[in-house]
Amino acid sequence: MLSARDQATSLLHLDSSHSGDSITRRLSARFAEVWKERHGASEHRYRDLVAEPVPPISAAYCALGRRVERNGYVPPAKVDALIENGAEEREWALTLPLIEQFRDAGTVLIGAPMYNFSVSASLKAWIDRVTFPGAYSDPDTGQSLLRGKRIVVVTARGGAYGPGAPREGFDFQEPYLRAYFANLGIADDDVEFVNAEMTLADLVPHLARFREMAAESLAAAREAVTELASR
């Protein structure tokens, strides 16, 4: 585990867009660029969840997780003692490094395009695997080990889903991610979203009238990620 000082100045950077030149990739790269100018590149950890996908969880993963639950949510360091077969051993070998990487990061930056009103399958696979029973709880107090962790989510939406928009209620992305991180013990104030909207305006003819709105939203998002990375 990293020291408290190293955790405070460490960045886990995840991209989950299936488009190589996506807006979320460009915006998350801007955040990382500014962050590294301030903190240096040594504690920047990057994973492209599409180019290097996290394997979906399996029956062996679930069996091991249930055994951990039955034994009182043992910490990750003691999970090895509960493994019963090779399949579970392989699942744990895939899972533990991701848990440690997530746990040790002071800031987690997620490029998360909206797919069908929610997150991509690549991001969901990462979420499912790192959310292992007992991984983020103090075994003595039960309190979350993730308190104080900062989450920055950069999204791109083809339409408009902000307050007052006709499709405001179709946004299952931000509410889902906020609920997910809250369940892990991360304060809502420590979860920040930057949303670029109407990103299909330059592509879809019937949205052409929203091109100015899209350009303004993208410019505001770029300014926002620059400001957030400078903190």
- Distance CA(100)–CA(63), nearest Å, equals 21
- Residue 115 annotated in ligand binding: yes
- Distance CA(74)–CA(1), nearest Å, equals 17
Q: At what angle do helices 23-39 and 211-229 cross, to 10 degrees?
A: 20
- Residue 217 annotated in ligand binding: no
- Residue 213 annotated in ligand binding: no
- Distance CA(179)–CA(187), nearest Å, equals 10
Q: For residue 129, give both structure tokens.
A: 């695997």
- Residue 117 annotated in ligand binding: yes
* H or E stretch covering 111: strand 107-113
Which residues are part of a known binding site?
Answer: 17, 114-117
Which residues are part of a known binding site for FMN?
Answer: 17, 114-117
